[in-house]
């Protein structure tokens, strides 16, 4: 089910969301993350050393909450997260550009590789809104 126009506007407007993954023991782990929203999918850059990487590898069902700074309205996305480990430059650049008005460094690809970065692509299956 696609997002409504209002939900998409909120997701595109904000650049910080809360990613929920499942720990090995089944309890949730919440992580604030910067993201980009493209073609109906959420892109998140993480490193392989973080728990959320291992959580997604083990259990790709995640949720993601985006909200206004005052808390409402917000929307929660439920769906599947896929991890891309090779072709990550374009998606990660989109996130970087939302976070900063600086130009990408010439060695951006090398920086990503040295940091052990991967790109998480969340494909939403359901959107749950909460109005203000």
pLDDT tens column, 97-114: 888 888 888 888 898 999
Tokens describing residue 123: 């494909």
Residue 102 belongs to a domain with what CATH number?
2.30.110.10
Counting the structural domains of the chain, the total is 1
Q: Give per-residue pLDDT as tens, 46-87.
A: 999 999 999 999 999 999 999 988 878 889 999 999 999 999
Greater model confidence, 127 or 132: 127
Radius of gyration of the chain (CA): 15
- Residue that is written with structure tokens 């989109």 in the block: 94
What does the alpha-carbon distance between residue 118 and residue 18 come to, in Å, rounded to a whole number?
18
Helix, strand, coil percentages, rounded to 5, for the chain: 25, 40, 30
Question: Which residues, 6 or more positions from 74, have their beta carbon under 8 angstroms from its beta carbon?
Answer: 10, 65, 66, 67, 68, 129, 130
pLDDT confidence bin for 1, thresholds 50/70/90: low
100 backbone φψ class: left, alpha, beta (φ>0; ψ -120 to 50): beta
Helix (H) / strand (E) element for 66: namely strand 61-67
Hey, which residues does 65 pair with through a beta bridge?
Answer: 18, 76
Which range marks the domain in which residue 15 is found?
5-130
Q: Give per-residue pLDDT as tens, 14-51.
A: 989 999 999 999 999 999 999 999 989 999 999 999 99
pLDDT at 99: 84
pLDDT at 2: 74
Within 10 angstroms of residue 108's Cβ, the number of other Cβ atoms is 14
Hey, which residues does 90 pair with through a beta bridge?
Answer: none
């Amino acid at each position: 089910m696609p997002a409504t126009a209002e939900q998409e506007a909120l997701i595109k407007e904000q650049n910080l969301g809360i990613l929920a993954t499942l720990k090995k023991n089944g309890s949730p782990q919440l992580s604030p993350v910067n993201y980009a929203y493209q073609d109906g999918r959420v892109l998140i850059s993480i490193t392989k050393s973080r728990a959320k990487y291992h959580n997604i590898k083990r259990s790709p069902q995640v949720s993601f909450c985006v909200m206004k700074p005052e808390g409402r309205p917000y929307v929660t996305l439920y769906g599947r997260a896929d991890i891309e480990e090779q072709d990550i430059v374009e998606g990660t650049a989109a996130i970087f550009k939302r976070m900063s008005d600086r130009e990408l460094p010439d060695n951006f690809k090398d920086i990503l590789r040295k940091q052990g970065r991967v790109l998480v692509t969340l494909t939403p299956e359901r959107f749950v809104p909460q109005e203000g």
